Amino acid sequence: MRYPSLKAPSHLLFLVFCIGLIADVLVPEIWGHGKTKDYPLWFWAGQQVLHGQSLYPVDPSGYFEFIYPPLPAVLLAPLAFFGKVPLYLFLCLLNAAAAWLVAQFSHAMAGSGRQPGLWLEALPGCIMITFVVDIFDLGQPNLLLLVMMLGGFWLLRGGRPWLAVGMFALATAIKVFPIAVLPYLVWRRRWGAVAGMTAFLVFFLLILPAPFRGFQHNVAELKTWYQGMIGTSSAEGFGQRAEQNWSSVNQSIIAVSHRLLRPLNYNQDDPHKPPRYMNLVDLDFATANWIVVAVCALIGLGYIRLIPPAWLRTEKSDAEEIGILFCLMTVASPLAREYYFVWLFFPITVLVHRAAYDPRPKVRTGTWIVLAAVCVLLGFSLPMYPIALQAYGNNLAATFVLIAGLAWHLRSPLKQGGEALPPAPGALQPGVTSKQ
């Protein structure tokens, strides 16, 4: 891993980039009418904890200002005590550090055994730049969650499973969708990691908030949050913010599938826009759900069939396997807004390493073509393109192109002489270092 250096032009550009994004958050708050998006919500949640007020309405069917579990509000409270500007500045610095660490972890875990040059190192970040800007502007924690997950897999590979699953559990307790790593650990028979993650989840969700909220109060709020967010689903939507669930802003497998299978207005998040529909058929809610379940089951079975058995794993195959896992975790979340796809940073980095360092010329060329296709598809989210491209799932399509590229590399490893064959027995396994 590299440390930042002002002598490196790409590192200097990253610093200038972060300063600009931090200014975009702080200038409106200090000299303007106040920063909007999610920043005021984080301050409100922290203040609710400081003053012993409820985070959720008594009725789980009511409107939730705060749609996250109680733990993030508890973590925000100490910073909210000092006011909005210190809180916003800390969150920006946290995102800047997370962006740097995501890049460093991604390159270190790409499995090529090569240290990229400075500009090649910057390439995945350039591809992901719009998502990073979105995260800074909104104040969302998805970059932080990504660095937790990457750090967890780094620790797991280094033989420190308890620290690793602590990172997984913390990410899940902040924003639920990283829970998808748990079935992966079950399939890989990492039973200690499964037990550890479960124990840490209990700690983060039930025990850690208790001294600040009271045990009974915290349990009651957790129950209300679960009923309002996880336990509700209907043809109109799921959880909170029903107007966003089926609209073009959501590019999850669930949302895109329902828009294709049912007559759903993909402009419903904006009442000023005329209704638009993209459904190919007109199915009822239950039938559409069963089709989504079947599609997800086929994808899951395909992933299980694709990944190598434990005794054939290498650092290279692990990078491709985990890259596909991150892709699936992103699109399997019921709500996958634009900034969720910053999680493609790691899989894109893996393919950049394959495109740069694979000794097979045709493979390098093909991998660059895959990356170019991913960039084109991701680019359709820019405002200059019709919103229909997002409704049809341009980011979802880019994710599946990434999965296809990673899957090909996973099934076509290199042997000496340039031909492909399965990895050799005795290859490095996660949690076991090369010296063991």
pLDDT digits (tens, 9 = 90+) for 136-147: 999 999 999 999
Please give the pLDDT value at position 191. 92
Please give the pLDDT value at position 427. 38
pLDDT digits (tens, 9 = 90+) for 305-327: 999 998 889 999 999 999 999 99
CA distance 212 to 74: 7
pLDDT digits (tens, 9 = 90+) for 13-42: 999 999 999 999 999 999 999 898 999 999
Q: Is 351 strand, coil or helix?
A: helix
Q: Encoding tokens for residue 226?
A: 């679960």
Single pTM value for the model: 0.91
420 pairs with which residues across the strands? Answer: 414
Does residue 221 register a pLDDT over 70? yes
pLDDT digits (tens, 9 = 90+) for 360-370: 999 999 999 99
Residue 324: phi and psi, rounded to 5, are -65, -40
Higher pLDDT, 106 or 435: 106
Does residue 418 register a pLDDT over 70? no
Does residue 275 register a pLDDT over 80? yes
Proportion of the chain above pLDDT 70, given as a percent: 93
Using alpha carbons, list the distances in angstroms from residue 167 to 57, 147, 318, 398.
30, 9, 19, 28
CA distance 313 to 294: 29
The band of 432, judged by pLDDT with boundaries at 50, 70 and 90, is very low
DSSP state at residue 425:
T
The band of 433, judged by pLDDT with boundaries at 50, 70 and 90, is very low
CA distance 393 to 397: 6
Torsion of CA 363, 367, 373, 379, to 10 degrees: -160
Of residues 94, 196, 213, the one with CA closest to residue 147: 94
* Tokens 């084109």 sit on residue: 376
Does residue 185 register a pLDDT over 70? yes
Do residues 329 and 180 touch, judged by C-beta distance below 8 A? yes
Q: Is 409 strand, coil or helix?
A: helix
Please give the pLDDT value at position 70. 93
Does residue 420 register a pLDDT over 50? no
CA distance 208 to 74: 9
CA distance 253 to 142: 19
CA distance 354 to 120: 12
Q: Give the E-state strand segments of 98-248 in sequence order.
A: 233-234, 237-238
Question: Which residues does 209 contact at the CB level (< 8 Å), separation at least 6?
Answer: 70, 71, 74, 218
Please give the pLDDT value at position 272. 83
Residue 366: Cβ-neighbour burial (10 angstroms; 0-12, 13-18, 19+): middle
CA distance 126 to 103: 11
CA distance 401 to 65: 36
The band of 76, judged by pLDDT with boundaries at 50, 70 and 90, is very high
Do residues 216 and 185 touch, judged by C-beta distance below 8 A? no
Proportion of the chain above pLDDT 90, given as a percent: 76
Which amino acid, residue 89?
A: L
Using alpha carbons, list the distances in angstroms from residue 379 to 42, 180, 331, 370.
30, 27, 17, 14
